[in-house]
Structure 1
């Protein structure tokens, strides 16, 4: 294809001598580049028309990875077919070559003289310029909004935007560089801990922050950090019930450790964070250190007025006995049953154990234990050895006004801060603080949506008790006392003046039971008026009436004169690092809704040869002593198979025909019987 000068407006600016040529060289190149781009646009539109004019010899070709020298000019991508990089090369004879791929080439000298419009190479996705450093800078904002950006999504994004493939190592290196720039290095975060503690105390007066370092190596090394925000401390003392759940969870970051937490319960049966701490490990010493600060913050003078619930963490039982001698300690029934079912399995045993835990009276508890004894004596002995004050409602004290059997408040808090547990130390602490700050405000604003003077969850429980009250028949005895008979034969005593019932549900929860509600309806009393004050709107406002004040940027923090602590040594544990905890046989899902394969629970093996347990017949030592089994002939096996098929056909109603005669087998068998009778006669 030939194109004239008039078509593209290329003017000769190189006829006035060498000096004029040097001055206008840059102008000439810019105009030529623009004209070549216009030509390429027309070329793409007329891709079907390929006319090639023979011209001067071709110059040396340049591949796609070629870097332009000083006498070359690079044209933007996208103007040529297949989106290949364009380069314009100047020659001594004022000839410019535009090279697009291995064979595609255009050669010009004022006019287009040579064009080879044949492409032999495809798109190349191996780009050496797509490095981890470059990717970290380009996708920094994306990683800031989504630190858990998956490798597959990242690779697809890079392939679509930068035309390059990304290996697994480049992905991890780029992610590490990006997160380091976002959160800062581990060394920087540990060096700011003293300043962070001072800023937290200054911005939130009354907050308790204590950091412990180990100086045995000649420099301060981080060991523990305790935080109790003033809003959490005052809110718990203002209206929360005196029941505190204790739990610990693993920190999943570069430096391992444990996160200890103390969680209360508010008037809507939701968890209320009280204090948290980062320690090196979960043991008796760390729990004793944590509970010592917690006792001072909550101003606990009488140990009998505080109640604890836990999952039997390492060293926690001994630490509570030391710091809070005489206080009641409850255990999570779910964890208790998980240990129970390791030795005693079965749905019937499970139902009996949970009925015994939910029993609110001693005589019902003893009845369930007798049922368990009749089912399995060993299971009864195992459960009877546990103190009933720690796991069954029948022996709970009514003081905390809570009948919870599970430590769900701590589990909910650990699930809420799950994303923070794999962050560096300072980011972890700040994520938890911001979560508590936002949660307190959201809970306070949610009160405007209440339709009643009591909390929504408590109102649902009350409505459920009202439906069961229809099965109760109260008889007034005077002085606010009633005798209540149920349709199933049970009888209870209710006293409206003392807000008690012989079933003990009212005393344990502070919510009128179905027997008490039937008595209130008999006297035209609104049950909401006799609900405990800890569930009221005014008490709820007292709990969430405090706020966590915001913090300034780290650059504005007041610098302390203390030596910055160093990160604790990294301990390499055997095996692959775990991100998820070990699942129990009864669990189906992990946090986030992702299903997992349940672990197989092996039953006790019993050998079919010797009758002993813990091995099967394959590994039995008496297997060699057994006589060899006589092999059956092939014809016998075939006959059995044919007889089995024939029986199945007869059951369906299909006649079975003989292979040789074609008659039914029933008819043939009948004929044989008649012949045998004749022979006998």
Structure 2
């Protein structure tokens, strides 16, 4: 029997190979015939331009203006010599002294030179799919080092060189074209050349570099002459460093102390020399003597500059780092090369960035002293806001609580009585954690209510935060909190809000639940157990919850015991008494804030407060404008959900027990009480929208369904949520303080360690179960048109009865190069 099955399988594989080989042959012949006919491709046309000028744009890109243009077809089969020959015939001149360049499709800043066959083929490849390629014919340039200063007393006049006939012709054409452009737009920053001088591309680069190196031009005036004064010897030495970088030479100190500084140019035989000394009875330094003549070439090499130290790098990038803490070392190196013409190694730039960050830390420490003034300005500009600043016994920053009046008003008048509690670490050299309380609006969008910045996420700080929150919001309704169980929140919430409900975040519970399954079961079993846990959390009936527990117990008694000991009455719908409105996890609020926190990395505490303020102001304004166009009773998302419930309620059997109590039959018998807005399925209470049983009853009795929807889901409540605005806070003078109230002194907190002691824990990778795929294996990779693309090979294919003709056709198409 087994032998017959093997013979049948071999026969089937043989038939598949025949079909596959036939398809490959067919599609190969079809592709070859199409290519022979010239249908899929046509030669791109090279638009060869010469005699014009490059005009720079504001973004650094360039466009070519003026001159003449000729069209020459190009393709992969054309050689570079053939292209030059066609070019010479069109230009009617010798092009041996000319260079051929082009732009990449996405980069019009850097010209690419064509010098051989491979370069020509690359140009065609880069412009694949384009009908035309812009090619520029320029005189052969002379590569010269670009110095940052425009005028250097050490530079020598460049000797004139003979130019070819073609070069002179192009120069004359460029001169005429530039003159026409200047007459039309005198303000344009054109890159032109004088009559008789070729507009070499090196001139273009040098002119643009002079603009980009504008930052270094300020260094030319740091040393002006004899009599110039400096506050200290250190300031004088730093000025010399800048001057040497601007002029491109190396310093050699002959005398260097707190009283006198004598420096010369390090080049042999160069007479440049400067001497400065301290004034009598004063700390100021004055420049006594200077010989500003240089006879050296000033070449300090291509890599780096001896005067470009870490402290100089710090002085260059400190202002940018203050505004953009994400300024990367590689970006700094590229900017210094662009602005100062100095190429620096990554490690040196990194050290310079660290020096700048250390210098900024001193400024960050001063910012904590501005927190009392900030709190006063918030109270003045946003009356009714709760702002509390607390310090330690040593007057160091401890915690800051802010709740704007507009946020509290929106929560109390439009949001559901539901608050998510989240804590997120702030990445900074000073310790800090952002604690946040947020709700959801009628469209299930996160609405910030209050936030605090504390030195660490502890039970004491959470208890303090909840106390400040309690003093900010009214307690005329029971509030449901959703959070994880860490850092004492499980104990702090019921202690501060005695009449509230506290639900555990489902996503955090699932992570804890996964740890109970680690290493014991296969991946399919784990996934099934996780789904069973979710079902236990979402079910509204106690019998269904017991079924889920029984299923878990059949797999593991320990896992089921852990679930029963996890206080299921605080996360399962079957037992939870609060109203979560189908919001089971605080991660929705955490992800909302995380998008802000990522922008707040390495920001100062004032910048973090300003960021939350600006983001909240913008969010309120945007959502208010969006809701002004709504015409439904409920918000759009809940209106859609209600219509689905109305459609699904058709056909349900409704039995009347009394004026308010009804019996609705589907698969089960459900009791609906329209007076208490309750149904035994509990979906009405959980979602705030009438369930299908309630909808059937309301439709049977002729009542308006919208009268039985939660008011928090209406458009009116949504608009009330965003009716108040947060006023901006100006960086003005300190607010007036009561003289009887002592001034608050706030120092920065103690800095945290760079990392906790001990070896960091390594998370073990979860075992993955490899399943057999029903698709053929792609176990071989070959090069196809210079790209690594998987090619199907019938000999190496495990092709069984699950294969289809469509799949075989697709594999054959891939094999012949059609993708």
- TM-score bracket relative to the smaller structure: 0.5 to 0.7
Contact kept? 2:617, 2:725, Cα under 8 Å: yes
Q: Determine the structure 2 residue equivalent to 1:151.
A: 329
Q: 1:359 aligns with which of 507, 519, 539?
A: 539
* Superposed displacement of residue 226, structure 1: 1.4
Q: Distance in 1 between matches of 2:199 and 2:635?
A: 75
Q: Does 1:601 align with 2:780?
A: no
Secondary structure, counterpart of 1:442 in structure 2: helix
Q: Does 1:377 align with 2:557?
A: yes
* Superposed displacement of residue 153, structure 1: 3.5
Q: Distance in 2 between matches of 1:336 and 1:461?
A: 28
Range 306-315 or range 552-561, more displaced: 552-561
Q: Determine the structure 2 residue equivalent to 1:572.
A: 753
Query: Alpha-carbon deviations, 1:211-250, whole Å to 9, x = none?
Result: 111234xxx2211211111111222111222121112121
Q: Does 1:431 align with 2:604?
A: no
Query: Alpha-carbon deviations, 1:399-422, whole Å to 9, x = none?
Result: x36232111343134313212253
Q: Does 1:36 align with 2:217?
A: no
Q: Determine the structure 2 residue equivalent to 1:239.
A: 414
Q: Distance in 2 between matches of 1:480 and 1:269?
A: 30
Contact kept? 2:313, 2:352, Cα under 8 Å: yes
Q: Determine the structure 2 residue equivalent to 1:185.
A: 363
Contact kept? 2:304, 2:345, Cα under 8 Å: no
Q: Determine the structure 1 residue equivalent to 2:435.
A: 260
User: Normalising by structure 2, what TM-score?
Assistant: 0.53
Q: 1:416 aligns with which of 586, 595, 608?
A: 595
Aligned residue pairs total: 504
Query: Alpha-carbon deviations, 1:417-461, whole Å to 9, x = none?
Result: 212253122222222222222222222112134352322232343
Q: 1:196 aligns with which of 374, 378, 403?
A: 374
Contact kept? 1:247, 1:410, Cα under 8 Å: yes
Contact kept? 1:125, 1:163, Cα under 8 Å: no
User: Normalising by structure 1, what TM-score?
Assistant: 0.63
Larger Rg: 1
Contact kept? 1:189, 1:426, Cα under 8 Å: yes
Q: 1:319 aligns with which of 488, 492, 503?
A: 492
Structure 1 pair 461–166 and aligned structure 2 pair: CA distance change class (3 A) = farther
Contact kept? 2:377, 2:734, Cα under 8 Å: no
Range 473-482 or range 491-500, more displaced: 473-482
Contact kept? 1:213, 1:222, Cα under 8 Å: yes
Query: Alpha-carbon deviations, 1:320-359, whole Å to 9, x = none?
Result: 2322234321101121121122123512211111111110
Secondary structure, counterpart of 2:485 in structure 1: coil
Q: Distance in 2 between matches of 1:461 and 1:288?
A: 38
Q: 2:448 aligns with which of 268, 273, 276?
A: 273
Structure 1 pair 522–178 and aligned structure 2 pair: CA distance change class (3 A) = farther
Structure 1 pair 37–449 and aligned structure 2 pair: CA distance change class (3 A) = farther
Q: Determine the structure 2 residue equivalent to 1:531.
A: 709
Q: Distance in 2 between matches of 1:97 and 1:182?
A: 38
Range 128-137 or range 249-258, more displaced: 128-137
1:103-142 alignment runs, 5 A limit: 124-128=302-306, 130=308
Secondary structure, counterpart of 1:542 in structure 2: helix
Q: Determine the structure 2 residue equivalent to 1:14.
A: none
Q: Distance in 1 between matches of 2:318 and 2:364?
A: 18
Query: Alpha-carbon deviations, 1:193-227, whole Å to 9, x = none?
Result: 111111111111111111111234xxx22112111
Q: Determine the structure 1 residue equivalent to 2:425.
A: 250
* Superposed displacement of residue 192, structure 1: 0.7
* Superposed displacement of residue 308, structure 1: 1.4
Q: 2:389 aligns with which of 211, 219, 239?
A: 211
Structure 1 pair 46–320 and aligned structure 2 pair: CA distance change class (3 A) = closer
Q: Distance in 2 between matches of 1:248 and 1:552?
A: 28
Contact kept? 1:250, 1:421, Cα under 8 Å: no
Query: Alpha-carbon deviations, 1:370-423, whole Å to 9, x = none?
Result: 22223322222111123232011112236x362321113431343132122531
Over the residues paired in the alignment, what is the CA RMSD in angstroms? 4.7
Range 139-148 or range 541-550, more displaced: 139-148
1:84-99 alignment runs, 5 A limit: none
Q: Determine the structure 2 residue equivalent to 1:403.
A: 582
Structure 1 pair 139–577 and aligned structure 2 pair: CA distance change class (3 A) = farther
Range 172-181 or range 321-330, more displaced: 172-181
Q: 2:726 aligns with which of 519, 534, 548?
A: 548
